[in-house]
């Protein structure tokens, strides 16, 4: 009985962080800055248009897209459950990565007026809706806070 318990413990400890690694590996969308870089990664767009005054292009890809936020939550779950969450999280992340690689996913890239990437999001990939770069007008002023 003792060897079985030791083998199970070694398996749990040996798989620490694997789901976080799988989730956060792949193409990082936040590093794409210009339309040429996006087309270099994903090829020609499958669709384009304007939504809320922003020009966008849709790309269909089978690439693994890095989801940094999932890696963070996976590590938190690992810490809270003392590693037992990996028994579920690792097979789940491998399944999701395999499904998206086989079926593909749509990436929407939004551009600003200068043709630079303003935001990227996965249309049918799940997860958060995406990110947008802050515009200079939206950045807080460096002045002192207002007095009460």
Distance CA 43, CA 67 (A): 21
Pairing of strands 117-122, 131-132: antiparallel
Q: What ranges in the chain are assigned the alpha helix state H?
A: 2-14, 18-24, 35-42, 68-80, 86-103
Predicted local confidence at residue 58, as pLDDT = 93
Predicted local confidence at residue 16, as pLDDT = 57
The structural domains of the chain, with segments of one domain joined by +, span 2-133
Cβ–Cβ under 8 Å, residues 57 and 111: yes
Predicted local confidence at residue 2, as pLDDT = 67
CA atoms within 13 A on the CB side of 95: 5
Give per-residue pLDDT as tens, 63-93.
Answer: 888 887 787 788 788 888 888 888 888 888 8
Residues lower than pLDDT 50 in the chain:
129, 134-148
Distance CA 67, CA 21 (A): 10
Cβ–Cβ under 8 Å, residues 105 and 125: yes
Predicted local confidence at residue 139, as pLDDT = 45
């Amino acid at each position: 009985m003792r060897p079985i318990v030791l083998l199970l413990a070694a398996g749990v400890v040996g798989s620490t962080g694997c789901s976080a690694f799988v989730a956060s590996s792949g193409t990082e969308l936040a590093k794409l800055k210009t339309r040429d870089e996006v087309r270099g990664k994903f090829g020609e767009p499958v669709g384009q248009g304007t939504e809320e005054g922003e020009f966008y292009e849709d790309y269909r890809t089978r690439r693994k897209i890095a989801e940094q936020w999932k890696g963070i939550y996976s590590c938190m779950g690992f810490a809270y459950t003392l590693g037992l969450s990996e028994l579920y999280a690792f097979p789940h992340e491998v399944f999701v990565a395999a499904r998206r690689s086989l079926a593909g996913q749509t990436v929407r890239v939004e551009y600003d007026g200068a043709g630079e990437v303003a935001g990227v999001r996965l249309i049918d990939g799940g997860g958060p809706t995406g990110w947008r770069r802050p515009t200079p007008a939206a950045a807080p002023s460096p002045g002192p806070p207002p007095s009460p």
